[in-house]
A and B are shown apart, each in its own frame.
Chain A
Amino acid sequence: MALLTLLSHWRRHPGQLVTLMLGLALATALWSGVQAINEEARQSYARAAASVTAQSYDRLVTPDGQPVPMADYIALRRAGWLVSPVIGGHVQIGAERWRLLGIDPLTAPQGILPQAAGESLVDPTAFLTGPGQAFVTPGVNIVSDQREMPNFVPVEGIAPGLILTDLSVAARLLDQQDPSFLTILPDQPAGLPALAEVTSLTRQQPSEDRDLSRLTQSFHLNLTAFGFLSFAVGLFIVHSTIGLAFEQRRPVFRTLRALGLPLGRLVGALMVEVTGIALIAGSVGVFLGYFVAAALLPDVAGTLRSLYGADIGGSLAFRPLWAGVGLLIAMLGAWLSAAQAVWKVARMPLLAPAQPRAWAMASAKGRRWQVAGALALFGTSGVAGATGGSLIAGFLCLGALLLGAALMLPPVVSLILAGLSRMVRGALPEWILADTRQQLPGLSLALMALLLALSANVGVSTMVGSFRQTFLGWLNQRLVSELYVTAASNGQAEEIRAMLAPMVDATLPIAYAESRIAGAPGRVYGVADHATYREYWPMIVSVPHVWDALAAGQVALINEQLSLREGLSPGDPVRLTNGLTLPVGGVYSDYGNPTGQAMIALSLLRDRFDDVQEQRTAIRIDPERRGAVIATLQDRFDLPDGAVVDQERVKQASIDVFDQTFRVTGALNVLTLAVAGFALLASLMTLATMRLPQVAPLWALGQTRARLAWIELGRSLGLVLITWAVALPVGLALAWVLLAVVNVVAFGWRLPMMLFPLDWVRLLGLAVLSSALAAAYPALGLLRMPPAHLLKVFSNER
């Protein structure tokens, strides 16, 4: 009964209920959407790690990367070695390019396929013979072309982009009989002859640099931070709506108490109410979150692929656990938001008068606490920024900075208003300022939400903009050669260079070897001594005459990531491989590369490293003559498409990758701003109902409704303007932390900060637009209000 009485409030204030629900639903949606994406990615990494492609087993390969001759495989088996053949490659089916992996289930290690694959293997004969069967991740639709295709069976646990099938099918589709490599089973029989006696193949350890969950950690942390930010912004809405609804119902509470309802029952009923609302709104939020995630996932997938080479599918699985957690979060958020209001009800004296304005005034008293809290948060942020070398510390620094700024906003706005009111003359302006100051507590939560969104926006766009600008400059330095040719083998590359030498200005081999640099996996590149490098290479610091020293094999250059990670400066020794340690001659910037890298003289690389890859060649040539050279190359060598690319295409591809990388960030940015706009709308709408006693006397004293409506609108815009002005420095501070702290830890490079005032103006326009929309509705309501409605304020029955 008490509950019903309480609930009747919502029937009379449906707008409030909608606001509350929408706020909670939005908060839950963004939060759980981000969580769904993270979870999907995590599952993909786990799948990738579990499949053969993760190189969880040692392999036998030919030194030149060519397929393993069948005779070598049979010789190993007949010597007793348990090795299993794998035929791998890429196939183009329709518009899609797939990674194809053919395994031999008869010799493969146990558990090489996900459990589900074994279970779905209804007819193993069909897997091993005829057109065969192939496992793909569920939800993909493969359009077969003319070739004899296997039957595609969707199976949970297959990495996205992978077709897993029998060797016989792979052999047919790739037209390759010999295994691409052999997997060495972990348990071998006793008393086998040594591997070297049986085969000339090389044994490869599983490589460690593909630990995707570690590499992508920063990216996911980033997403989580955004999700959390949106959630916090959403909770601001919920908090203010619940606060208002409780305050408006104080007479009801009082009456119920006076009628003998025990306090415990009243609080209990309120909790049930809040929980019920949270459950409904949370369900809506989880539902929305699923769509947010599904909409963002392709972009996230693109980002992860381009940045880390991590493959997560473009389709989203619905996980009950995730939905449950989303609901729980909604509930916790609602309880958190309601805690203060419920606490007030619990302590409310039985005879306290209802005074909706007291609620608005109450938080004014907490202003001193706000300032203290803000200062404490700024302190925390500073300490985290100064001492922290970890991602967590970086984000703590960011979070504390943002929250502190948000807390600081109401005191700052109030200070500005006080200063203004001392300056203006005239009854109306005085009233406007005085009234705005009084309205501030009711609006401050929404303004704080807006501040969070605006500063995040300024911060992130400054970071991305700075990154992009730097990246473009760096690309121009690094990609100076006019043409890049990729040959099928080292030998063919050598032939190409020999043939081109007389026709072009220079042929520069791009040679590298996989190694462990300072203990971690990385590539060592060899560079020819050429003016191209001396003039353009994007060096950050170097010793004098570094290029001469490099050509003489006396120093190595390292990339910025390696330098920051290992704390290496010019002069420090760096270990490049067994028995080769050189002093660092210089540090160069190397954006977009998650691992360490070093450069030494080409001759030194060839001398001291096995397995030097030299298929690629950079060609300096008069751009006019590019076409002729390309034609000659394609004439003389059977080069596949894409083997010869010119500078512009490489650059464009890199820029595309870059833009792809930050697309999700942009989308989340916009979403957060939208939620903040909604928070403003919600606050203004709820306040509008309380504004009548403030406005009605002025109307009675001879102000038109139109004028008052304009004042209301202008006031909201003014507040947004102030918020934007405060958000600018906060956002720039945020950008600085992102560039100088978070980026360094997450990627290993430091970027210069650049300013983009045009973006700020655009953001202001956006903020003004959204707040104008938000303020327009209540203002319009005032404009259209019948006089009788305004008169009720003064009437006796009130």
Chain B
Amino acid sequence: MNVRVLLLAIFWANQALTQGFSGLGTEAEGFAMPDPQHVISFPQDHGAHPDFRIEWWYLTATLEGDDGAQYGVQWTLFRSAMRPGEGEGWQSPQVWMGHAAVTSAEEHHVAERLARGGIGQAGVISTPFETFIDDWQMLATGAGLEDMTVRARGADFAYDLALHATGPIVLQGDRGYSVKSPGGQASHYFSQPFYEVSGVVTLPDGPVAVTGQGWLDREWSSQPLAEDQSGWDWFSLSFDTGARLMGFGLRGAALFTSATWIAPDGTPTPYGDGALQLTPLNHVEIEGREVPTEWRVALPVRGVDVTVEALNPQAWMGVSFPYWEGPISIAGSHTGRGYLEMTGY
């Protein structure tokens, strides 16, 4: 079986394929729709929302090793529902997918895991918080999401990290309701961008002790993209000032951008379409595609005008549906480090 074909269709990353299945993600399918009135509350919203079509728990971390080298680490659990709700055993309509990656300037290691719901091979528990697929896991060691451990393993790499939050959880968009297109497509979206990270990354050359910063994104929806949108470029920037900037652009008939300025104390200020300016500067060719790995990111209202550049331009995620994900460095009006995700290339 070509599992990739299967997954391309189940997960919505490839818009063209998704459109092949008429009406997926519409209310007629019975999926719950993001609701601007919904008040995000914990711990319930740490857990899964099986009535929504897609959902993810997305951790990225920019790290420095005791060897002086820079690293990036990704740990993601995706949930996708083929039908709303849960089912017994093998009959469950829920499909889980884990992605893990370690990136350095020279190397990029990726692993992927898939599991069906209903049998305990993968899942999320809200209290005490725990997400897992196979032997990969991200779980809270205390209350809420403040202290966690994260681990994953691939054929040629592994990592085991401890996280400690130094700031509050941040609601994106309008109190956690994040609009994705002029037509009103939206998702529920919140982040914890204030993790301090320490732990060990094991590469083919051996283990490396690492420290750095981490950023957790939580998002769920049933129809995140409009029909004409082909992909997005998503930035999470941690400035040396302690402020954070989340910004994304959805590429459609017109570019749709959105940004959240996060003060060092965690106070968010959302900015709607057009406030954030994204300009690709340099493309590299990866597997026959032109991917921009250097960008100009400007949020003039906040005086931000920076150039971001990939630590490793070849940070390609060659998984079931391929995308680009890797650490970046920031220069210009602000300095710091961050993560860049680009899909649909």
Contact = CB atoms under 8 A, between A and B. Distances in A.
Tell whether any CB of A sits under 8 Å from a CB of B in the complex.
Answer: yes
B90 A171 contact: yes
Nearest to A166: B90
A205 interface: no
B158 A123 contact: no
A94 to B, nearest CB: 25
A167 B90 CA distance: 7
Contacts of A74: 119-121
B135 A125 contact: no
A128 B155 contact: no
B119 A121 contact: no
B132 A78 contact: yes
A70 interface: yes
Given A124-B9, A129-B82, A168-B91, A78 B119 contact: no
B237 to A, nearest CB: 33
Contacts of B21: 123, 125
A498 interface: no
Nearest to A164: B1
Contacts of B5: 118-119, 121, 124
B115 interface: yes
Contacts of A96: none
A167 B9 CA distance: 19
A110 B21 CA distance: 24
Contacts of B35: none
Contacts of A112: 1
B1 A105 contact: yes
A130 to B, nearest CB: 8
Contacts of A130: 83
A121 B20 CA distance: 13
A84 to B, nearest CB: 10
Contact of A108 (B1, B10, B89): B1
Interface residues of B, number: 32
B251 interface: no
A112 B3 CA distance: 10
A104 B91 CA distance: 12
Interface in B1-23: 1-3, 5-7, 9-10, 21
A166 B114 CA distance: 15
Given A78-B134, A117-B1, A118-B5, A190 B115 contact: no
A108 B3 contact: yes
26 contacts: A70-B119, A70-B120, A74-B120, A77-B115, A77-B134, A80-B153, A104-B116, A108-B1, A110-B3, A117-B1, A119-B2, A119-B5, A121-B6, A124-B10, A125-B9, A125-B83, A128-B93, A129-B93, A167-B90, A168-B90, A171-B90, A171-B91, A172-B91, A189-B111, A189-B155, A191-B158
B117 to A, nearest CB: 10
Interface in B96-127: 111, 114-116, 119-121
Given A125-B10, A128-B116, 9 more contacts: A77-B115, A78-B134, A78-B135, A104-B116, A108-B1, A124-B10, A168-B90, A189-B154, A189-B155
Interface string A86-111: 00000000000000000111111011
A30 B93 CA distance: 54
Contact of B1 (A77, A80, A118, A190): A118
A113 interface: yes
B250 interface: no
A641 interface: no
B290 interface: no
A121 B1 contact: yes
A106 B114 contact: yes
B16 to A, nearest CB: 14
Contacts of A797: none
Tell me which of A70, A119, A128 has the highest count of chain B C-beta atoms within 10 A of its own C-beta: A128
A79 B156 CA distance: 17
Contacts of A172: 91
Nearest to A79: B135
A80 to B, nearest CB: 4
Contacts of B82: 125, 128-129
Contacts of B90: 166-168, 171, 177
Contacts of A167: 90
- Looking at chain A, what size class is its interface with the partner chain? 35 or more
A25 B93 CA distance: 58
A128 B82 CA distance: 8
A200 interface: no
Contacts of A107: 114-115
A103 B82 CA distance: 18
Contact of A190 (B121, B134, B135, B158): B158
Interface string B141-159: 0000000000001111010
Contacts of A125: 9-10, 21, 82-83
A190 B9 contact: no
Tell me which of B1, B2, B6, B121 has the highest count of chain A C-beta atoms within 10 A of its own C-beta: B1
Contacts of B153: 80, 189-191
Closest 7 pairs between A and B when the two form their complex, measured CB to CB: A118-B2, A113-B1, A80-B135, A106-B114, A168-B90, A124-B6, A125-B82
A773 to B, nearest CB: 58
A177 B89 contact: yes
Contacts of B119: 70, 73-74
A124 B82 CA distance: 9
B299 interface: no
Contact of B116 (A106, A113, A115, A117): A106
B95 interface: yes
A607 interface: no
A121 B116 CA distance: 18
A124 B8 CA distance: 10
Given A127-B6, A189-B111, A190-B156, A171 B93 contact: no
Contacts of A127: 6
A657 B83 CA distance: 49
B296 to A, nearest CB: 39
A197 to B, nearest CB: 13
Given A74-B121, A128-B95, A115 B89 contact: no
Contacts of A103: 1
A5 B116 CA distance: 77
Interface string A195-209: 000000000000000
Contacts of A535: none
A463 B135 CA distance: 62
A187 interface: yes
A124 B21 CA distance: 10
Nearest to A128: B82
A654 to B, nearest CB: 40
Contacts of A123: 9, 21
Contacts of B121: 73-74, 77-78
B135 A129 contact: no
A74 B93 CA distance: 18
Nearest to B83: A129
Contacts of A119: 2, 5
Contacts of B89: 70, 168, 171, 177
Interface string B71-94: 000000000001100000111010
B94 to A, nearest CB: 10
A128 B93 CA distance: 8
Nearest to B9: A124
A207 B73 CA distance: 42
Contacts of B154: 189
A108 B9 CA distance: 18
A121 B9 CA distance: 10
Contact of B2 (A70, A115, A189): A115
A80 B91 contact: no
B213 to A, nearest CB: 27
Interface in A158-192: 166-168, 171-172, 177, 187-191
A205 B119 CA distance: 27
A558 to B, nearest CB: 44
Nearest to A126: B82
A177 B82 CA distance: 20
A124 B83 CA distance: 12
A159 B193 CA distance: 53
